[in-house]
Structure 1
Amino acid sequence: MRRILLVTLALLTALTPLATDMYLPAMPAMAGELGVSASVVQLTLTTFLIGLAAGQLVIGPLSDQWGRRRLLVVGTVVCAAAGAACALAPDAAWLVGARFVQGFAGAAGIVLARAVISDVARGIRAAQLFSAMMVIQGVAPVVAPLLGGALVPAVGWRGVYWVLTGFAVVLVLAVVRAVPETHPVHLRSAGGLGALGRDARLVLTNRSFVGYTLSFVFCFGTMFAYIAASPFVLQNILGLSPGRYSVAFAVNAVGIIVASVVSARIVARTGPRRLVVVGAAVMLGASLLLVVGATAWGLPLWPTLALLFLAVGSLGLVAGNATTLALGQVPGASGTGSAVLGALQFTLAAAVSPLVGIAGERSAVPMVLAMAACATLSAAAVALTPARTDRTTGARAQELEAAVGHER
């Protein structure tokens, strides 16, 4: 895989985190200008996430029938247009609708980037590429709040959406220039809705795919529980200032990047499954110790920060490798598989985020319990997944590789 293609795919998946986080500092100003309550403005985030999940479920399976490149170009163009619509929104209802479209279209970048890598690489090489992509993706959560904090005072919330629009336009040009069609015509599904149903059954009845997907999804659930509650836990309970909280948040994001780099370097020796097992075990151990800390130790500062670093950073060992193992089970329907994986990921995120605040701003117990529950389910999913792979996968992968080479 050419480096420019890998970077383009990673930036496509970084677009939605940027669209999620960059405008958060502007929410109070948005509520004032549009004359609505804070809850209405927060609805723009909810509809964006709903669109993101729904878009993956639609675009991923369609790409198994129509190919990746065309849908990727169209999705990115629509995402750019939706960003402009957000910037020009005359009222809150318009903004909420535009955010849904932005999320739905932006889902193309996430679901099809994974499908493209699954098309052109398998096994160890795919694990290396997914881990390398995680390095670039991991920068987005660090950069987005900083960019938003710098842009909002200078250009306002509408200016943030214009910046996102410009980034999407650049990505359109990058896709046209760098992303080839990786799913050739003779390997595409045919038969309309019937074929979509068959692909869905193929994916959802594959035990190994489901196991590795659930490990991936619940691993991300652990991280989302941390993201949703950490501003209150680290500042209101542990006493960090906003600046120190930002540093702690960035350090944990760097932990994901470091773990992803390590994974890419050693996966050829260890194999992706072993790294998923190790990452899930570290996440589970750290999360359980956080439960003990919150309920018995009084949540001491430095041990808590260290355990959070381990719990969050271990995502870098699980995410890329679990994705490789899951999509490797369904090479003929990687678009559908990627859609299921991504939709479950964001659906769980939407479910976990409200739960971590049910005890108020002065309790860390819901956060650590949610993290431990998700980490337990992630570890159980990979432990119950058979280590062997489907015997048809190797032959199917060779056929796909030959077809892609011929298409090029």
Structure 2
Amino acid sequence: MDMPDMGRRPWRIHQRVDSSTAWFVLQWISVMTTVLLVLALGAFLLYVVSRGVPKSSSRRARVSGMSPKMKVVLALTMLVDYSCTDQYQPNIPAMAKFFMVSPTEMGFTIQIHLLFCALGMTVVGPLSDRIGRRPVILACQLMQAISTVTCMCASSIGWFMAGRAIQGLAASVYVAILASMRDCFDDAASRQRAMGAMMSVMLIGPIFAPAVGGYLASDFGWRCPFGLLAIFAVALACISYHVIHETAPAHEEASNLAPASAVVA
């Protein structure tokens, strides 16, 4: 079997890392965490189908404005999602050889992400109306961290696609973030200014992620950019737990199948 054409140094790093005991332990932890996450999502879906979307019993007062820290955290949340996709696009040919699939099949992992993101948006919006923005955003950030580790540790194209699918579900947090902007800014002008500033941070991903991901992969292999993003995603989730506050008003209601577009109306 031909070795992946990834350059001498990256391939040696892959050989050394993939054969280490610590790496096998990390892969095992990643697989178990992903399986538990999928089971938890499946159990929650069955609960929603049988009992409906749960409703938070806590009362939340509408807030005016949003703290700069929370704006930065929400902007970085969207930045991580964009970076996870854009950083590995230059490495698709090398990753395709590593997983022994065609570049076309490897490119399909991007479509998997978009598909599950679209599906997730139909649920995240109504769910954030019922139980609040904060728990939904934190849950999506946790899913982002777990799925990025899954992609980093993937030993087959199947596991990599599973990680990308969960990343797509995590990316649907975009709907809850837009809803939180609507909660905090009553007038359209203020909301647009705040959203424009957040978008400026988010667009750093598409601009710099391909170059940075390609450079890191050329020296350390394609797993390295995923590892750095996973560390950043975990740190961001921990910070968000202390920074993000609830913004959804107590009177918000939504049906189980309400369209995601209603969240940002």
TM normalised by structure 2 equals: 0.70
Amino acid at match of 1:337: V
2:175 to 111, 114, 121: 111
Alpha-carbon distance in structure 2 between the residues aligned to 1:32 and 1:111: 36
1:82, distance to aligned residue in structure 2 (A): 0.8
Task: Tell me whether 1:75 sits opposite 2:125 in the alignment.
Answer: no
The correspondence of residues 301-380 of structure 1 with structure 2, limited to 5 A, is 336-338=262-264
The correspondence of residues 9-24 of structure 1 with structure 2, limited to 5 A, is 9-24=74-89
Task: Tell me whether 1:3 sits opposite 2:63 in the alignment.
Answer: no
1:100, distance to aligned residue in structure 2 (A): 0.6
Alpha-carbon distance in structure 2 between the residues aligned to 1:68 and 1:107: 12
Alpha-carbon distance in structure 2 between the residues aligned to 1:337 and 1:71: 14
1:188 to 228, 242, 252: 252
Deviation string 1:260-319 (CA, Å, 9 cap, x unpaired) is xxxxxxxxxxxxxxxxxxxxxxxxxxxxxxxxxxxxxxxxxxxxxxxxxxxxxxxxxxxx
Amino acid at match of 1:55: G
Alpha-carbon distance in structure 2 between the residues aligned to 1:179 and 1:172: 10
2:185 to 115, 121, 145: 121
| Structure whose CA Rg is larger | 1
Paired residue for 2:106? 41
8 A Cα contact 2:86 2:205, kept in partner: no
1:151 to 202, 209, 216: 216
Paired residue for 2:13? none
8 A Cα contact 1:53 1:107, kept in partner: yes
Alpha-carbon distance in structure 2 between the residues aligned to 1:187 and 1:91: 47
8 A Cα contact 2:112 2:165, kept in partner: yes
Aligned-partner SS, 1:196: coil
Task: Tell me whether 1:55 sits opposite 2:55 in the alignment.
Answer: no
Aligned-partner SS, 1:90: coil
8 A Cα contact 2:141 2:237, kept in partner: yes
How many matched pairs?
199
Paired residue for 1:136? 201
1:138, distance to aligned residue in structure 2 (A): 2.4
8 A Cα contact 2:178 2:263, kept in partner: no
Identity of aligned residues (%): 30
Alpha-carbon distance in structure 2 between the residues aligned to 1:146 and 1:92: 23
8 A Cα contact 1:15 1:106, kept in partner: no
1:177 to 225, 242, 245: 242
8 A Cα contact 1:54 1:104, kept in partner: yes
**Runs (4+) of structure 1 moved beyond 2 Å?**
none
1:19, distance to aligned residue in structure 2 (A): 1.1
Paired residue for 2:90? 25
1:52, distance to aligned residue in structure 2 (A): 1.5
Alpha-carbon distance in structure 2 between the residues aligned to 1:170 and 1:111: 22
| More helix by percentage | 1
Alpha-carbon distance in structure 2 between the residues aligned to 1:79 and 1:70: 14
Aligned-partner SS, 1:174: helix
Paired residue for 2:229? 164
8 A Cα contact 2:72 2:198, kept in partner: yes
The alignment's C-alpha RMSD in Å is 1.8
8 A Cα contact 1:34 1:92, kept in partner: yes
Q: Which runs of 5+ in 1 are unaligned?
A: 205-335, 342-408
RCO comparison, higher one (Cα < 8 Å, 6+): 2
Q: Which runs of 5+ in 2 are unaligned?
A: 1-65
TM normalised by structure 1 equals: 0.46
